[in-house]
């Protein structure tokens, strides 16, 4: 009699990464169950892109309670501007994505459930809007990972007796000194460890990242080997509820009362224009300021108390010291200051710095060289080589 297979619940977003993750887990002999996280009111689930019929394998009907997908996170701290027309998939978690995930589950012959988290996700969007109103630039993909995708995924795994959870994130998990640690994905261009710092050690102990050792091209090759219909599906590149990159529109819809006109000032304090609400600006923004200065100028400070936007030259954005709160440690760190490579945005190249704990939940980071556009509300994640030591949420600069 064969040994009982270990059960794993895999979050299937409909993209090629999570689809290949499910394929590899089935191939490795796990007892796999697929889950799709519904976060919007659209309940229709079409067939997969380019396909006219569903697979003949049995697929379970949806349950009324929901979670999980994986996508490339957006980087709202980068310079704002109009989205470029590309092949890239805008957002995730749509009805079309659900249909893709369901189809792949059918191809694999595994149970599949589409679970509903519309209410929880709506609260997350409210938090996103509130952060902009406070003059901060949030990263909702990280919050969604912590509160919904992984937290709820573990809850469901417990309910069905699953040992592991899995996603299609480009990250790796290994053991160091007898403890589970999170590492960057093997494919440096696709690495998603930055958005996973808040998971906690307990969740990491039960998590599998099947594509973490692969490059994107290798993932697509595997999808081709399994004849997956979404093997050429473009990556998701934007926040799923802001596919057009118009963050201000979402904030204005949620918090219209916060859009009050105020002064735009230069670095000397001189009024040089008016703005229509702090909620539509972020540190480092250049486009959309509506001010003709004769040279490139950027948002350098947002003062909610005075309802003032300050702009200046790019050099003003360079900062050496930041402080952050809400520390999550995924590995043991020294009691005193320690050296690390520190990343302050998803697309930021980690820079050498000294990290100092300020109690249990705060840190101070001092970079060797000034960094551009340190943005309150974004995550700061610190590494030892490829190993994620931990992270926190930026409060501001010194």
Residues known to be catalytic: 144, 240
Closest CA to 281 of 266, 296, 259: 259
Q: What is the 3-state secondary structure (H, E, C) of 344-387?
A: CCCCCCCEEEEEEECCCCEEEEEEEEEEECCCCCCEEEEEECCE
Helix (H, G, I), strand (E, B) or coil at 37: strand
Q: What is the spatial distance between Cα 193 and Cα 352, in angstroms, rounded to a whole number?
A: 17
Q: What is the spatial distance between Cα 385 and Cα 305, in angstroms, rounded to a whole number?
A: 40
Tell me which DSSP letter residue 236 carries.
B
Q: Please, what sign has the CA dihedral across residues 261, 305, 293, 344? A: negative
Q: What is the spatial distance between Cα 37 and Cα 68, in angstroms, rounded to a whole number?
A: 4
Tell me which DSSP letter residue 266 carries.
-
Torsion of CA 242, 244, 248, 252, to 10 degrees: -70
Q: How many CB atoms lie within 10 A of CB 222?
A: 21
Whether 81 and 228 have beta carbons less than 8 Å apart is answered as no
Q: What is the spatial distance between Cα 365 and Cα 342, in angstroms, rounded to a whole number?
A: 8
What DSSP element (H or E) covers 353? strand 351-357
Q: Please, what sign has the CA dihedral across residues 345, 351, 357, 363? A: negative
User: Beta partners for 100?
Assistant: none
Q: What is the spatial distance between Cα 367 and Cα 383, in angstroms, rounded to a whole number?
A: 13
* CB neighbour list of residue 158: distance below 8 Å, 6 or more residues apart: none
Whether 270 and 298 have beta carbons less than 8 Å apart is answered as no
Q: What is the spatial distance between Cα 106 and Cα 226, in angstroms, rounded to a whole number?
A: 12
């Amino acid at each position: 009699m064969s040994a009982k297979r270990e059960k794993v619940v895999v979050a299937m977003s409909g993209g090629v990464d999570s689809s290949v993750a499910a394929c590899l887990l089935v191939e490795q002999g796990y007892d796999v169950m697929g889950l799709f996280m519904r976060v919007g009111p659209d309940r229709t689930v079409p067939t997969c892109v380019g396909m006219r019929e569903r697979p003949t394998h049995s697929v379970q009907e949806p349950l009324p309670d929901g979670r999980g997908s994986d996508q490339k996170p957006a980087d709202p701290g980068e310079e704002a501007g109009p989205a470029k027309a590309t092949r890239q998939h805008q957002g995730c978690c749509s009805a079309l994505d659900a249909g893709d995930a369901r189809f792949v589950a059918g191809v694999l012959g595994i149970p599949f459930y589409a679970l509903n988290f519309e209410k929880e996700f709506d609260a997350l969007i409210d938090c996103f809007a509130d952060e902009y109103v406070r003059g901060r630039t949030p990263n909702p993909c990280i919050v969604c990972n912590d509160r919904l995708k992984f937290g709820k995924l573990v809850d469901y795994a417990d309910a069905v007796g699953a040992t592991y959870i899995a996603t299609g994130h480009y990250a790796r998990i290994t053991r160091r000194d007898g403890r589970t640690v999170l590492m960057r994905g093997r494919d440096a261009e696709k690495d998603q460890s930055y958005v996973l710092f808040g998971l906690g050690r307990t969740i990491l102990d039960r998590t599998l990242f099947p594509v973490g050792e692969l490059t994107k091209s290798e993932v697509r090759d595997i999808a081709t080997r399994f004849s997956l219909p979404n093997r050429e599906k473009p990556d998701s590149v934007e926040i799923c509820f802001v596919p057009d990159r118009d963050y201000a529109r979402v904030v204005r819809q949620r918090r219209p009362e916060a859009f009050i006109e105020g002064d735009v000032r230069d670095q000397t304090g001189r009024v040089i224009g008016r703005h229509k609400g702090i909620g539509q600006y972020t540190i480092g923004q250049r486009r959309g300021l509506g001010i003709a200065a004769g040279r490139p100028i950027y948002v350098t400070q947002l003062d909610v108390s005075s309802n003032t936007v300050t702009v200046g030259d790019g050099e003003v954005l360079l900062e050496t010291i930041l402080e952050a709160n809400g520390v999550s440690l995924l590995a043991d760190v020294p009691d005193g200051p320690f050296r690390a490579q520190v990343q302050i945005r998803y697309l930021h190249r980690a820079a050498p710095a000294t990290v100092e704990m300020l109690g249990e939940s705060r840190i101070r980071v001092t970079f060797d060289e000034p960094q551009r556009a340190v943005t309150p509300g974004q995550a700061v994640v610190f590494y030892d080589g490829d190993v994620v030591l931990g992270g926190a949420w930026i409060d501001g600069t010194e």
